Structure 1
Amino acid sequence: MRLGFLTACLPRLALPEIAAWAAGQGYEALEVAAWPALGDRPFTATHIDAVGFDGGAAYTIRELFDQHDLTLSSLAYYDNNLHPDPAERAAVNAHVHACIDAAALLGCPTVGTFVGRHPGRSVAENLLDAEKVFAPLVEHAGEKGVKLVIENCVMEGWHPDGYPGNLAYSPELWEWMFSLGLYLNYDPSHLVWMGIDPVEALRPYVDRIAHAQAKDIQLFPERRNRYGWPGKAVVREDPWDTGWWRYRVPGLGDVDWRGVTDALYEGGYTGVLSVEHEDPVWGGTEERIRTGLEVAHRTLRPLLVA
């Protein structure tokens, strides 16, 4: 495995600066943010503009990655492919299509996104919609030699009551995704607060994991005793604040990283493990974000075969 990180945590830096810093810190790969430039949405960035991406732009980026001996592991565009507004849904689907084209030009093996959810429809109804939405995207990805990977992030902030807003949060749903030709971008942190063992959950599915992310999570069980599993219900000013857990960089939370990496190796995974930095303690400023990435590197690098 090679160790990388998702560039979305450094939205104000240009890709060449991120690549140089990453290589200097001993990182070996980058998962590059490819959201459309639509404003300052949290945890998004536009380090590759997939719309209108051409061979010249691809050549420049390939040269940059070769210069720093970095692997481009994935293009990241995590948005709601089942958005309740038809125009917004079509725009999201179209951007995934553009990211697939850009990845093909770059020789990048995967494009990452979400299934998403229409919060006003049942899970079963959403899955029927998703089968129609993803069929042409999977077909296009296959024609381009790219794998479409879905992160198992719960996206509880997309649902008005904090229930799952991305229908990829459990092995049951992973099996449904695989039946459509989708792959998994495995992130153990989300499973922990869902009450799923992240090591045992991944063992049967390593062959369908085309990309993996490393994000940690810190639980506060005494607070869960007040709010319950879905989190705050009466007063929830921030839709992402459940009140009883928070994301951390690897090494500062409750994920068993030795167990996770061992299970990946045992299952034959040889891809990239990409740090997704959403740690509120080591966030807020560029300096603190870089420090968080350094902590993650110190935690994970010793667990990976050189």
Structure 2
Amino acid sequence: MRLGMLTACLPGLALEEIADWAASRGYEALEVACWPGTGGRDFEAAHLPVASFGEREADATRELFARHGLELSALAYYENNLHPDPARREEIRAHLRHAIDAAAALDVPYVGTFVGRDWTRPVAENLAEAERILPPLVEYAGERGVKLLIENCVMEGWHPDGYPGNLAYSPELWEWMFSLGLYLNWDPSHLTWIGIDPVETIAPYIDRIPHAQAKDVELRPRDRQRYGHFGPATGREANPWDMGWWRYRVPGLGQVDWPRVVDRLYEAGFTGTLSVEHEDPVWGGDETRVKQGLDIAHRTLRPLIVG
């Protein structure tokens, strides 16, 4: 097992700057964000120009990672592959293919994305649509030696009412997506707030978990007494990502039991990268605070991982 980090939390830095800092702080791998950098969610980051990626870029990237002794564990382009706007959906699909091509050029085995959801249609119709459009992407990746990873994030902010916007949030849905040839970028934080014990999901699905993300979550049960499990019903326009009774934290500052998680990953035979995904609002807002949060995450997880 290697300890890595997702670069998306530092969108203002170049990949070379992130690699230099991460290696100096003891991180062993980077999960590299490769959004197109055209706006959208405020945590988009474009750390590899995958749409224009060629041999020169591949050589430079390999040299950068070799110089810092880092592994490039996966490319990250987490977007809505079931977007209701056909034009936007095609943009996403085209960029995902670019990410797959770049991963293949770099011998990176994984590209991460979302199943997503068309929030104007019921779940059953979304699943049927996914069964039509996702297998060709799985095949495209497989022909290039790449596996598509799906993170189990709920993406409640994509749905106007705060309901799941990514149909990959539960083991029930994992089993469905595995049948399409997809793999799981397992993240315990999302499971925790929806009421699933993350530790109990490791062993049954370990053969489809080649990569994992380390994010924590702080639950506030007293606030849940006002909103219920589904969060605020009014005023969501101001911040569609605020569920009112929980927030993401860096590992060690929330409810996730990291000694149990890492131990169970080892017991199940996990040999991939555990990649810190920093979305902690307390340790965010500027580069200094984000890096301090990443240091907290490293201090929490590093003692648990066999050197």
TM-score (norm 1): 0.99
Return the alpha-carbon distance in structure 2 between the equivalents of residues 203 and 268 of structure 1.
9
Is 2:258 aligned against 1:253?
no
Contact 1:3/1:301 (<8 A) preserved: yes
Residues 253-272 of structure 1 aligned to structure 2 (within 5 Å):
253-272=254-273
Deviates more, 1:233-242 or 1:147-156: 233-242
Return the alpha-carbon distance in structure 2 between the equivalents of residues 207 and 260 of structure 1.
16
1:202 CA displacement = 2.1
**Secondary structure of 1:213's partner?**
strand
1:249 CA displacement = 0.2
Residues 1-306 of structure 1 aligned to structure 2 (within 5 Å):
1-39=1-39, 41-236=41-236, 237-306=238-307
Contact 1:216/1:255 (<8 A) preserved: yes
**Secondary structure of 2:111's partner?**
strand
Return the alpha-carbon distance in structure 1 between the equivalents of residues 264 and 49 of structure 2.
35
1:267 CA displacement = 1.1
Return the alpha-carbon distance in structure 2 between the equivalents of residues 41 and 167 of structure 1.
19
Aligned-pair identity (%):
69
Return the alpha-carbon distance in structure 2 between the equivalents of residues 229 and 173 of structure 1.
20
Matched to 1:101, the amino acid is D
TM-score (norm 2): 0.98
1:14 CA displacement = 0.5
1:40 CA displacement = 6.1
Return the alpha-carbon distance in structure 2 between the equivalents of residues 43 and 187 of structure 1.
18
The alignment of Structure 1 onto Structure 2 pairs a total of residues equal to 306
**Secondary structure of 1:184's partner?**
strand
Structure 2: where are the runs of 5+ without partners?
Answer: none
Contact 2:37/2:44 (<8 A) preserved: no
Contact 1:36/1:46 (<8 A) preserved: yes
Return the alpha-carbon distance in structure 1 between the equivalents of residues 173 and 44 of structure 2.
25
**Secondary structure of 2:78's partner?**
coil
What RMSD, in angstroms, separates the aligned Cα atoms of the two structures?
A: 0.8
Matched to 1:132, the amino acid is R
Question: Which of structure 1's runs of 4+ aligned residues deviate more than 4 A?
Answer: none
Deviates more, 1:241-250 or 1:90-99: 90-99
Matched to 1:11, the amino acid is P
**Secondary structure of 2:52's partner?**
coil
Contact 2:9/2:290 (<8 A) preserved: yes
1:104-161 deviation per Cα after TM superposition (whole angstroms, max 9, x unaligned): 0011110000000000111111011111111111001111111100000000000011
Deviates more, 1:259-268 or 1:148-157: 259-268
Matched to 2:245, the amino acid is W
Matched to 2:101, the amino acid is D
